[in-house]
Amino acid sequence: MEEATRLVLSLEAAPHKLRCYLWHRDACPGAAIATEFAHALKESHVWALLITPSFVQDDWCKYVMHQVLAEGPMSNRMIPLLQNLPHTEYPVELRFYYYIDLSRNPDRGHSSVNKSVLRYLENLAQKELKSHRKLDMSESSSQKDKETLKQCSPATSTLPVTNVEEK
């Protein structure tokens, strides 16, 4: 849990101030667990999975992993993060994804997550701009372009970090 909090604090810091969803901090008390997970997933651009020895033994963590995979196994929106986990215990379902090992250098790992999220958001903003221009070629679209960019800016993105150490 501590590592998840550290990562979220690092992502929420200036200058980019990414908006994050952290289970034990942001989940709505009284809501159904599975519905709350599904809502967090739907409202987020990128999903970081902090995979630890506790993660691979916890059915709810596995549940979240499969929900993330079901959102799009090739979407490039899932970032697996490893911490203190022998390679032999790594989930077989995630074997081919490129992951970040936080055990070696946590700060560099946090920075890599930050960069990956920003890159994803920049690509998303560019795609939306292109499709917007195609749809609206005949109109003056400069004002709308600015609005699209604002919607996709890092400050309005969300990033859930699954609480993997304790729940």
Binding site for its own copies (CB under 8 A): 32-35, 37-38, 42, 59-60, 62-63, 66-67, 69-70, 72-75, 92-93, 95-96
State in angstroms the smallest separation of the CB of 70 from its own copies. 4
Between 97 and 145, whose beta carbon lies closer to its own copies? 97
Q: Which residue's CB is nearer to its own copies, number 72 or number 115?
A: 72
Residue type, 128: E
The answer to whether the bond into 15 is cis (omega within 30° of 0) is yes
Q: Whole-number minimum distance, CB 36 to its own copies, in Å?
A: 10
The nearer residue to its own copies, 16 or 99, going by C-beta atoms, is 99
**Contact 21/160 with Cβ under 8 angstroms?**
yes
Q: Pick the closer one to its own copies by CB: 93 or 136.
A: 93
CB of 164 to its own copies, least distance (A): 15
Measured CA distances, 151 to 10, 70, 144, 156, 160 (Å) = 22, 25, 11, 7, 18
Smallest distance from the beta carbon of 112 to its own copies, in angstroms? 21
Q: Minimum CB separation from its own copies for residue 163, in Å?
A: 15
d(CA 56, CA 62): 7
For its own copies, the closer CB: 9 or 72: 72
Nearest to 77 by CA among 120, 100, 50, 46: 46
Number of other residues whose CB lies within 10 A of the CB of residue 102: 24
